[in-house]
Structure 1
Amino acid sequence: MKKNIVFCVDQRYVTQVLVAIKSLIANNDNMDIYIVNTDLPFEFFFKFKEELSGTNIRVIDWKISEDELKWDASFEYITKISYARLLLPDLLPDLNRVLYLDCDIIVTENIDELFTVELLDSGIGMTIDWLNYRTLVNRYNSGVMLIDCEIWRKNGYVEGLKAEVENRIETDMKADDQHVINGYFDYEDIYELPIEYNAQHGTTVLAVPQSYLDRFGEYAGGKIIHFTGPAKPWGDWGVIRGRRQWWEFNFMSIGQALQKNKEKQSKQQFLVYTRTENLRGILELSKAFPKVSFIVVAPTKASFKVIRLGAQTNIFVKELFKKEFYNYDDIKAVLMIGEYDDVKKDSQFYNKLNIPVLTYKDLAFDGVDYAYEAENVEDMVNEVQKYLN
């Protein structure tokens, strides 16, 4: 699945968007990263084209006219290019779904699962704003937005948002992009994304109510870390969460980001334990996750049908397997997907090692602690996805 990711940036935030892009590359692939801009020089993009040649990642120079951006919110840290996020379905007419990201973010894990979110009729997915989640006027943070462009075009949202900006400027209401989006959309029309996709650690250093600390203060994770507010990792603040990671990506080259991604992929392994040749869904899993290694092991001699699975580029077959002596450090989970073979004791062995065991409902044994029992192959594919980071 191709992921369409968009940044809107001017020359003030070149360093920050470079860091954000490298963090994406280090943790994800199969991406078209659009840089919506009016003034970035071609040299900014030349190195990406050179380094990313032969990969399934592109960084695209998407120039727009300054005439598209006629508003000025007069905020110290918000410039005209910030309003481009309101126009994305029109600026990128061939795209059906995009993930907009602010430049002051880093991506720390794989975010494929975010692109499978069903927005239903909402048209937009956002996380709550950590400082303003209780307000009636600014509840959702606009730094990470999953946008269904087709719904926006169908409902004329871009024109509606333009009118919202104009009205707010004329009536002296707050007219920055976040207030505009929150003011235009009814809250029931916004799909609320999990906070792990917009962990706003920039606000945790501020003087905030106890209710804020109770809800967000201990949240140290985040697949996408967003440095909201005045506390930025490239500034003088020394206690902000995610600061060290930002600097690591800052000093990392594009090539090193790609290598980091490659190293992570090499550790994406699932053990397929079997005593039969009929492995339900193994080819579908192989196709769904081409960069994941599926290691098929059998404690006996394997049939030719099983041996031939090794013709797939990401399936590896090992017969006469001794489970007691294997190194499981890189194994995400054990798949017990052999049809109607007696692997109860084998499954219990992996329970004792605290390695997740996945199977199908009709293949499950009593007395085994399964991490998941899938209904069908599609369900198993979706569950395996959750183990990938």
Structure 2
Amino acid sequence: MKTIVLNGDYGFLDKIETTIKSIIYHNQKVKIYVINPDIPHEWFINLNQYLNQIGSQIVDKKIDPGFLQKLHSRYLHINTSAYGRLFIPKLIKEDKVLYLDCDIVVDSKLDDLFDLKFGKNILYAVGDFYGKYEFDSNGFITNLADIVEYNTGVMLINNKKIREENLADEMIKMAEDPNWPNGDQSVINELFKGRIGQLHPSYNYQIGYEAYGYRGNSHILKGLNLIKNPKIIHYITENKPFNMVSVGSLREKWWHYRRLEWSEIISKYGNFDKSKIKDLSFDGEAFLFTHLAETENIEQLIQKLPNIRFNIAAYTPMAFLLLKLIQYDNVRVFPTIMEKDLDREINEADIYLDINYGPKADEIIERIMKRRVPIFSFDQTKSQNLDYNNYHVFPDNQIDEMAEAIKKVVENI
């Protein structure tokens, strides 16, 4: 399965979806990660009900906004969420990934791109078209020394090598310096100098530079005109096709992908099954109320029990440590929960998780016990002196055992 990574925030959601539509229109069996700080998970759930029908998947990968606030671009049209790509080695487990900016559409199959071998290279990219280059008959830049910077809007990344050489932290640290001329693009070029292979320019057709070509930069037009069949089209610069007006070519191409319906895209590969577009259902409901973000083994339990819905509530706003858990289909969070919602969650809970650190919500636990709901806890988080014969405590390392016990309780409801 091909692995592709996008990043952006909720404000760019329609652009992200357009890029994904273009990818899927030409490619099956693709796993697409979207690194984001704030996109509602329901969007991912809905989209997967389409993509799963053709063997593809979209993954919600939340990133702490606090990490991004340390990083700033000198260009107004570049949002700080764009720096999420620096965290790919930390957030994405696959060894080879294709990164794409979300002002891009894919207009071709990508099999040949993923067949490339890295050799000594950390990544592959295309030279930034703004430079003055000589090209061979195939469109490649002939003298690599002429490339001032590679454009990082499209990168085939040797994720495995970056992890092996522990370069991820260094890359992020360098990006905190606000003086880089092109932000994280300059950082990537500097850190991986001499280890960036040249992609064919058709894989990053920087059509957004076209207007500059008609303003005294004829070398840009020369480079663009050499590419007859661009595979990945990049609307670089602030001159975007989704602006009210824009200049340059291929605006219609972006809107072609934007207006495609998902059912139409899926039907391209076979019969679209509308019955698979539905609300999720679960075997049981788990409830956790907490005053602190710190919990014991909550994420592991969520992963091991995909058919149990975890409902996590608090009277206060929640820290990212809890908010990020909504990247799982079987999690809902209720910060500053309203009383009617709290009543519902207590009354619908099949099990209660007493796995939060800090002060316990005694009044909540009391109501849970009155309903005779089983309570599960770990040694480190158990309530002290709680007299309840349906209270089950597990050693901290017995996550599997707790998960199995929860399954059995739900099966017998």
Q: Same fold (TM over 0.5)?
A: yes
Residue 247 of structure 2 corresponds to residue 229 of structure 1: no
> What is the Cα deviation at residue 236 of structure 1?
4.2
Given residue 9 of structure 1, which amino acid in structure 2 is its aligned partner? G
* Structure 1: segments with no counterpart, 5+ residues: 264-389
Q: Which moved more, 1:215-224 or 1:96-105?
A: 215-224
Q: Which moved more, 1:63-72 or 1:208-217?
A: 208-217
Match of 2:152 in 1: 142
> What is the Cα deviation at residue 162 of structure 1?
2.0
* Separation in structure 1 between the aligned mates of residue 223 and residue 51 of structure 2, nearest angstrom: 40
Q: Is the 8 A contact 1:138 1:179 kept in 2?
A: no
> What is the Cα deviation at residue 89 of structure 1?
0.9
> What is the Cα deviation at residue 138 of structure 1?
4.4
Q: Is the 8 A contact 1:133 1:140 kept in 2?
A: no
Count residues with an aligned counterpart.
257
> What is the Cα deviation at residue 133 of structure 1?
5.6
CA 1:261–1:192 in 2, change beyond 3 Å: closer, same or farther?
farther
* Separation in structure 2 between the aligned mates of residue 77 and residue 146 of structure 1, nearest angstrom: 24
Match of 1:112 in 2: 111
Q: Percent identity?
A: 29
CA 1:18–1:208 in 2, change beyond 3 Å: closer, same or farther?
farther
> What is the Cα deviation at residue 262 of structure 1?
5.2
CA 1:208–1:161 in 2, change beyond 3 Å: closer, same or farther?
farther
Match of 2:191 in 1: 184
> What is the Cα deviation at residue 261 of structure 1?
4.8
Match of 2:397 in 1: none
1:22-58 CA distance string (max 9 Å, x none): 0111100011000111100123212212222332110
TM-score, with structure 2 as normaliser: 0.59
Match of 2:84 in 1: 84
CA 1:217–1:54 in 2, change beyond 3 Å: closer, same or farther?
closer
> What is the Cα deviation at residue 74 of structure 1?
4.4
* Separation in structure 2 between the aligned mates of residue 174 and residue 48 of structure 1, nearest angstrom: 37
SS in 2 for 1:52: helix
> What is the Cα deviation at residue 237 of structure 1?
4.3
* Separation in structure 1 between the aligned mates of residue 132 and residue 244 of structure 2, nearest angstrom: 27
Residue 161 of structure 2 corresponds to residue 155 of structure 1: no
* Separation in structure 2 between the aligned mates of residue 126 and residue 113 of structure 1, nearest angstrom: 14
> What is the Cα deviation at residue 165 of structure 1?
1.8
Match of 2:209 in 1: 203
- Of 247, 259, 278, which residue of structure 2 is paired with 1:251? 259
> What is the Cα deviation at residue 9 of structure 1?
0.9
SS in 2 for 1:212: helix
> What is the Cα deviation at residue 149 of structure 1?
0.9
Q: Is the 8 A contact 1:89 1:152 kept in 2?
A: yes
Match of 2:318 in 1: none
CA 1:180–1:115 in 2, change beyond 3 Å: closer, same or farther?
same
Given residue 98 of structure 1, which amino acid in structure 2 is its aligned partner? V
CA 1:133–1:30 in 2, change beyond 3 Å: closer, same or farther?
farther
Match of 2:15 in 1: 16
Q: Is the 8 A contact 2:128 2:147 kept in 1?
A: no
Match of 1:45 in 2: 44
Given residue 48 of structure 2, which amino acid in structure 1 is its aligned partner? K
* Separation in structure 1 between the aligned mates of residue 174 and residue 86 of structure 2, nearest angstrom: 11
Counterparts of residues 62-101 of structure 1 (less than 5 Å): 62-69=61-68, 70-92=70-92, 94-101=93-100
Counterparts of residues 158-307 of structure 1 (less than 5 Å): 158-166=168-176, 168-169=177-178, 172-174=179-181, 176-186=183-193, 188-206=194-212, 207-237=215-245, 239-261=247-269
* Separation in structure 1 between the aligned mates of residue 37 and residue 174 of structure 2, nearest angstrom: 23
> What is the Cα deviation at residue 257 of structure 1?
1.6
SS in 1 for 2:14: helix
CA 1:234–1:52 in 2, change beyond 3 Å: closer, same or farther?
same
